[in-house]
Structure 1
Amino acid sequence: MIPSRPPGFHLRVLLRGLVLIVTLVAVGFLIEGFGFRDALDTGWIDAQIRGKGLSGDALFVMVGALFIGIGLPRQAVCFLGGYAFGFIEGVLWSSLASVLGCICAFYYARFLGRSLVVTRFPDRIARLDAFLEGNTFSMSLLLRLLPIGSNLLANLAAGVSGVRAVPFFLGSALGYLPQTFVFVLLGSGIQVDPVFRIGTSVILFIASGVLGVWLYRRYRHGRRLDAATEAALDEGDGLDDVATRSG
């Protein structure tokens, strides 16, 4: 029997993402409305990125990967990718920057920062190692589909754990895509079809968040992340119960 209370996860999970969307949209329209776009176009984006062919694309990817690698929000890089390139190219270059940032943080932790990361996050490393072991690709995919969690901490913890690198990168690349689509579409909507694209971005964000949590609950096979993440994902009778009772 399905519980009378609608299944779901803590509203704060979606609220954080929606606040980020509103903030990015506000910044984008401020750039347009106050004429900052011209300054921006004649500045870094126009001088170094737009119309520069592969050299501009490569520069965006390298700078984006650096920002993501040191822990800045991946969603902001995707938003800027959509703003600079439009949807299709924005998805391509933002995805590449996201994966390269993941790889950089992973190998920094594995070869250079092991002692620092292990000392600061011992519990998270142990939990992530247990979560990813056995089927690293699938578990990495589930991890990235969740609408919460620190991308940087996941990369660092995976780097010092015993997980295999290639399945972790492949699972991450695929799991990144839903939010990449959302925020690239959001960025591209500042200049083209803003109402449709921004509205679609909000709907896709909510849908991808719900889907990510449902898949996590259904296919994690008893594995758990840290207590804070679990508490944020579930208020009580949640998606776990629905998956169990409908499966």
Structure 2
Amino acid sequence: MTTQAASGRRRAALLKLSILAAGLVLAGLLLREVGLAPGTGWVDRWVLGQGLLGDLVFVAVGAAATAAGAPRQGVAFLGGYALGVVEGTALALAAQVLGCAVSYLWARAIGRGWAERRLAGRFGHRLRPLRDVLAGSPFNATLALRLLPVGNNLALNLLAGMAGVSLLPFLAGSAIGYLPQTIVFALLGKGIRVDGAWQLGLGIGLFAVSAVIGLMLLRRHQAGRALDEDG
């Protein structure tokens, strides 16, 4: 991939993430102005004010959504809205890691043979560099990739599972790498609910900082270069 194409791909991915953040905030503000809750029906019915049962429902539904490919940032946003920044971040992170493990284990059990055939065939030159980086340094590479403002959460889970990357380092790197954006989107969700201008401002500021750090990692880390080659 040329440098110009890689740069364009990074900008496009960052733009998508920015649109997601702006869309969540604007939708929440609009719904609040017309008197509707900024959550979805299941959050209002099963999570808000439900104590431990609500926490368990949130983690279960959030994990299922993440495992199926829903944006993990949306889970964090709803966590902040329903549970506050601290508890919402903690439970959203638990849901994200559980969903990561589910999609990883599914791919490892079902799709490993498929991955091996593709790595030996015409898709090998695209997948093998990223697979090799993950296999060689599962924690560090996963952490770097999760911090990047590019890439696909579900695709990385499936690739790691199909390639047989060590599970515990992969999950640990994912959990730490998920944390910055989880805090950011929980702040945005909390700010929507309580009309908290400072939460919204802090969330947007942290989002910008995390995006800059992610782009720097993408340029410098071996995992980021492999991701560009895969793209």
Residue equivalent to 1:156: 158
The Cα shift of 1:115 comes to 4.8
Residue equivalent to 1:240: none
Cα separation, partners in 2 of 1:53 and 1:180, compared to 1, 3 Å? same
- Structure 2 residues without counterparts, runs of 5 or longer: 1-6
Cα separation, partners in 2 of 1:117 and 1:26, compared to 1, 3 Å? farther
CA separation in 2, counterparts of 1:171 and 1:81? 21
Amino acid at match of 1:134: G
* 1:180 counterpart = 2:182: yes
* 1:53 counterpart = 2:55: no
Q: Which of 1 and 2 has greater Rg?
A: 1
* 1:23 counterpart = 2:23: yes
Residue equivalent to 2:192: 190
Deviations along 1:47-97, one digit per CA (max 9) or x if unpaired, are: 311222111101000000000001011111111111111100110000000
CA separation in 2, counterparts of 1:116 and 1:27? 40
The 3-state SS of whatever aligns with 1:79 is: helix
* 1:88 counterpart = 2:86: yes
CA separation in 1, counterparts of 2:86 and 2:224? 37
Cα separation, partners in 2 of 1:120 and 1:97, compared to 1, 3 Å? farther
Amino acid at match of 2:43: I
TM-score computed with the length of structure 2 as normaliser: 0.85
Amino acid at match of 1:49: V
* 1:127 counterpart = 2:154: no
CA separation in 2, counterparts of 1:99 and 1:184? 16
Are the equivalent residues in 2 in contact too, given 1:65–1:97 (CA < 8 A)?
yes
Are the equivalent residues in 1 in contact too, given 2:133–2:223 (CA < 8 A)?
no
Correspondence 1:168-247 to 2 at 5 A? 168-220=170-222, 224-227=226-229, 229=231
Residue equivalent to 1:239: none
The Cα shift of 1:120 comes to 7.5
Deviations along 1:84-117, one digit per CA (max 9) or x if unpaired, are: 1110011000000000010000000000233556
CA separation in 1, counterparts of 2:147 and 2:181? 8
The Cα shift of 1:221 comes to 7.9
Are the equivalent residues in 1 in contact too, given 2:144–2:223 (CA < 8 A)?
no
Cα separation, partners in 2 of 1:217 and 1:96, compared to 1, 3 Å? same
CA separation in 2, counterparts of 1:164 and 1:171? 11
Match of 1:114 among 107, 112, 115: 112
Report the more deviating stretch, 109-118 or 49-58: 109-118
- Structure 1 residues without counterparts, runs of 5 or longer: 1-7, 230-247
Work out the number of aligned pairs and report it: 220
The Cα shift of 1:227 comes to 3.0
Correspondence 1:129-148 to 2 at 5 A? 129-148=131-150
CA separation in 1, counterparts of 2:12 and 2:224? 24
CA separation in 2, counterparts of 1:12 and 1:151? 16
CA separation in 2, counterparts of 1:164 and 1:83? 34
CA separation in 1, counterparts of 2:227 and 2:171? 19
The Cα shift of 1:22 comes to 1.2
- Paired-residue identity, %: 45
Deviations along 1:5-36, one digit per CA (max 9) or x if unpaired, are: xxx98543432222111100111112211122
The Cα shift of 1:195 comes to 2.4
Match of 2:103 among 102, 105, 121: 105
The 3-state SS of whatever aligns with 1:204 is: helix
